[in-house]
Amino acid sequence: MHHDSPPRDGSTGSLTRRAATKAVSLGALAALAGCLGGGSNAGPTPEPVDLSGGKEDDQGGMVIGLHAGPNGQIFYRDNAPEGHDNPAWFHTLSMGLFPYYFEHRERGWEATAVYVTDYSTVDYELSTEGGDTFISTPTGADTFGDATEMTYVVESEVLGGMGKDLIPFSSESDADGFVAEHGGKTVVFDDVTPEWLRGYMRS
């Protein structure tokens, strides 16, 4: 099943829309650098990287791209994940990126950028296996957007690679449309706290 995209008329209209969306997302990320520890002396905001090629999730060791659902990456100012340079990378948000982000924030690690899959900018697919519905898992650098600017769908019938996940959209209307079709509700980045996440994963 393909994500409904704007009608294509043979022009590059949808690509232009994607480029515009990415430009707005990166601009918003620069503006919000202060929220993640950036400042006037912070230097340029790092850009997302491609997560293909057998990279293993820094929270659980699963190979990114082999499982359904959104991926994520976190860049840190003065720290790096074990075994490789920044960013830390993840094949799930609910059991990977967010738990890692919270744990390392408690350790005093300063995130300079947090990126997640942006399903508003990709032609995603839904697949069914064993009665469950899963969303595709793009890994290209251009499929990521600023995590703090996303609207996340939660409690829907659509799962990520490890079950329940947060499905991010840079367009709130895309997220609302997804909820209308697949159930659930929406939250924003600041709604996702350690306490909220524990409750969500237990429910």
Each domain of the chain, given as residue ranges in start order, spans: 64-192
* Cβ atoms of 85 and 18 closer than 8 Å: no
Q: Strands of 144-146's sheet, edge to edge? A: 88-90, 72-76, 111-117, 144-146
13-27, 59-73, 74-88: the lowest-pLDDT one: 13-27
| More confidently predicted of 71 and 13 | 71
Asked if pLDDT for residue 149 goes beyond 50, the answer is yes
Q: What integer is the mean pLDDT of 12-40?
A: 42
Q: Cα 144 to chain center, whole Å?
A: 6
Q: Looking at residue 8, what is its pLDDT?
A: 31
Asked if pLDDT for residue 108 goes beyond 80, the answer is yes
pTM of structure = 0.80
Q: What pLDDT band is residue 42 in, cutting at 50, 70 and 90?
A: low
Q: Looking at residue 20, what is its pLDDT?
A: 42
Q: What pLDDT band is residue 36 in, cutting at 50, 70 and 90?
A: low
Q: Looking at residue 161, what is its pLDDT?
A: 84
Q: What integer is the mean pLDDT of 137-166?
A: 96
C-alpha–C-alpha distance, residues 118 and 11, integer Å = 23
Q: Looking at residue 203, what is its pLDDT?
A: 86
Asked if pLDDT for residue 16 goes beyond 50, the answer is no
Asked if pLDDT for residue 164 goes beyond 80, the answer is yes
Q: Looking at residue 25, what is its pLDDT?
A: 43
Asked if pLDDT for residue 37 goes beyond 70, the answer is no
Asked if pLDDT for residue 67 goes beyond 50, the answer is yes
SS3 153: strand
* Cβ atoms of 89 and 51 closer than 8 Å: yes
Q: What integer is the mean pLDDT of 41-61?
A: 89
C-alpha–C-alpha distance, residues 87 and 74, integer Å = 5
